[in-house]
Amino acid sequence: MDVYLQKLKDELRLRHYSPRTIQSYCVCVSEYLRAKRNNLDSVDVDFVKKYLLSMVDKGLSSSTTNQALQAINFFYHNVLQYDRDIAIRFAKTPQKLPIVLSRDEIHAILKCLDNTKHRLMVSLAYGAGLRVSEVVSLRIRDVNILELTIHIKGAKGNKDRITILPEKLGSEISQIIGRKDADDLLFASERGGTLTTRTAQKIFDNALKKSGIKKNATFHSLRHSFATHLLENGVDVRYVQELLGHANIRTTQMYTKVTNPMLKNIRSPL
C-alpha cells in the first residue's frame, strides 16, 4: 500500500496539485485501500459503490463522499492505469447560500480589533475579497499602491489574478511597505515567519464574538461580503468573477441570490 500511495503522491505532484489536495487525496485513497484489504491492484466498481455507501451510512456529507470518489478515480486511472470509465456518479450537493455580513456588521467587527495589523488584515480581506490563505501569504511585491491593485499568485487551483486594493487602506499599507523588503510578508507573525491561517481565523472569530454579532460567520464570510456588496453597488457579475478568480461564472452568480433587491422589497402579507 505504501508503494501505491507514494506513486499517487508523485503523480499528483507531477500535475502540480496543491499540497492540501495531495494530502486529501492520499488520505482518501489510504482509507479506501485499508477497507479493501486485498487485491489492491484490481479495480472493483461494486466494492467502490459499497465503500461510498458505507460513508453515507456513517452520515458523512456529499462533498466528503465526492472527494473520496474523485481521489479513487484519480488513483485507478493514473496509478493503476485503468482505461475504462468508473460508472459511478457524484452525489448531489446541497445548494447553500453564503453567510454575508452587512456593511454595519463589518464596521462593528473592525472596531473590535485593537491591534493595527489585525485590523488591517481583516480590512484587506474584506476590501479585496481575499481568502485567508491569500492574506497570510501576501508579500510586499504583490501590492501596488500607485495602481491600487493586488497580484494574487498561486491561489486556489494554482491560478494568478489581479484584485483591487482599497484606497482607504493605502496610507497604512504604505507605512508597512516602507519598512520592509519586496520579498517580505505583508502580515508576518511576531517571530517574522508566516502567519498561520488558523491564527488569522482566530483573530476574526474573537472580533466577531466581541462585536455581539450572532451570525455563524467565518473569515471566508469577508470574501462573501465583498462579492455581495459589489453586486449591490451595481458592479457587473463578470467583473466580480474576475476579482474573485472564479473559473465558472455560475459560482459567482450564487451571490445574486443574496443581493436580489426585488425579493427584499417584497412585504409579507401577514
Helices and strands in the chain, H and E counts: 14, 3
Choosing from 139, 141, 156, 210, the catalytic residue is 156
Residue by residue, DSSP assigns 34-74 as HHH-S-TTS--HHHHHHHHHHHHHTT--HHHHHHHHHHHHH
Q: Give yes or no: 246 in active site.
A: yes
Active site residue 49: no
**Catalytic-residue membership of 220:** yes
Query: Which cell numbers hold the place of 152?
Result: 494574487
**Phi–psi pair at 159, nearest 5 degrees:** -110, 145
The verdict on whether 229 is a catalytic residue reads no
Contacts of 72 (CB under 8 A, 6+ apart): 28, 29, 32, 48, 86
153 catalytic? Reply is: no
Q: How far apart are CA 215 and CA 209, in angstroms?
A: 10
Please say if 223 is a catalytic residue.
yes
- Among 118, 119, 131, 229, the one annotated catalytic: 131
Spot the catalytic one: 32, 76, 126, 255.
Answer: 255
| CA separation for the pair 71, 84 (Å, rounded) | 16
Catalytic residue among 119, 223, 224, 229: 223
φ and ψ of 114, to 5 deg: -80, -30
Enumerate the active-site residues.
131, 156, 220, 223, 246, 255
